[in-house]
């Protein structure tokens, strides 16, 4: 490889890494405890956003290549942000029950549940697992799986 081609290749690689780092919408952390606190807080904010239509939370925590299995359908980031921005729909509330985080280097798995209430009075839970990945120092969700569990009526 001649010097110009090598220089072009190095500049393009560094430019791509810097562009990704500069566009990271989430804070960067160096301590694992801070990462885990951030993930728990982000998961709780996402749960609450279901009833508040705060699309900024969804936009910040989902990676651009995010995929979500929800109610038997596949949702990407673009549609998740769009649906969040459209409003809470039939949800009156959605409160987190718990979030557990397990870390594996640049990957973390968050598992939890949320209890929701719809406008018609129906109640249920989302039981979910989210996979978080650190890319260029930025922690975001790349994959999510939610299961809806109806609660008995009272």
Backbone phi and psi for residue 89, each to the nearest 5 degrees, phi listed first = 60, -125
* 39: number of Cβ within 10 Å: 23
- Residue 152: predicted pLDDT: 78
pLDDT digits (tens, 9 = 90+) for 31-47: 889 999 999 999 999 99
27 vs 149, more confident: 149
Domains of the chain: 29-150 (3.10.450.50)
- Residue 71: predicted pLDDT: 84
Which residue in the block uniquely carries the two structure tokens 């975001």? Answer: 140
pLDDT digits (tens, 9 = 90+) for 75-102: 999 999 999 998 778 899 999 999 999 9
CA distances for 29 relative to 21, 22, 48, 100, 147, angstroms = 13, 15, 24, 19, 30
- Residue 154: predicted pLDDT: 61
* 122-147 average pLDDT score: 95
Angle at CA 135, nearest 5°, toward 131 and 137? 115
Backbone phi and psi for residue 101, each to the nearest 5 degrees, phi listed first = -120, 130
> Does the structure show a pLDDT above 90 at 117?
yes
8 vs 1, more confident: 1
Q: What percent of the chain has pLDDT over 90?
A: 63
């Amino acid at each position: 490889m001649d010097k110009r081609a090598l220089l072009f290749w190095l500049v393009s690689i560094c430019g791509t890494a810097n562009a990704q780092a500069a566009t990271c919408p989430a804070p960067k952390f160096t301590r694992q405890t801070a990462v885990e606190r951030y993930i728990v807080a982000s998961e709780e904010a996402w749960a609450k956003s279901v009833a508040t239509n705060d699309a900024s939370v969804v936009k910040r925590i989902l990676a651009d290549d995010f995929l979500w299995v929800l109610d038997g359908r596949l949702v990407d980031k673009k549609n998740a942000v769009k649906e969040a921005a459209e409003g809470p729909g039939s949800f009156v509330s959605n409160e987190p029950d718990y979030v557990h985080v397990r870390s594996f280097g640049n990957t973390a798995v968050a598992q939890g549940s949320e209890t929701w209430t719809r406008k018609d009075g129906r109640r249920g839970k989302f039981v979910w697992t989210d996979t978080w990945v650190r890319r260029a120092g930025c922690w975001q969700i790349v994959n999510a799986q939610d299961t809806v569990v109806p609660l008995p009526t009272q």
